[in-house]
Amino acid sequence: MKVVTIEPEDLLVIPSNSHPLRTITPRMLEVIERIAEGKTNCQIADELNVSALIIKNQIYEIMQRLEAKNRAHVIVKAIVAGILKIGREDGSRSS
């Protein structure tokens, strides 16, 4: 299964119950996409040319903004919020 994203604008805005607005930056979206692909922090860091510690901190910030409990919950929240769409490798939507 392939993760297909919605094209990001400068910022994607996610409403939150505890905060009026939460934003996901394009860089955070790149990290979320790679989490959805099952990549480790080190793999993500290598692809984005940063340290694994930066990725760890970025994931923590993403979890805070999406009010997610873990990496899997980040993906669920991102799908529900419309940040990620799940599709097949051929581009068709799964049913």
Token pair 């910022």: residue: 11
Instruction: Return the pLDDT at 59.
Output: 97
CATH dotted code for 2-87: 1.10.10.10
**Structural contact between residues 48 and 55, judged by C-beta atoms closer than 8 angstroms:** yes
Instruction: Return the pLDDT at 18.
Output: 47
φ/ψ of residue 53, rounded to 5: -65, -40
- Tokens representing 82? 């419309």
Mean pLDDT by 10 residues, the chain (95 residues): 47 47 83 96 98 97 93 92 75 53
Instruction: Return the pLDDT at 7.
Output: 47
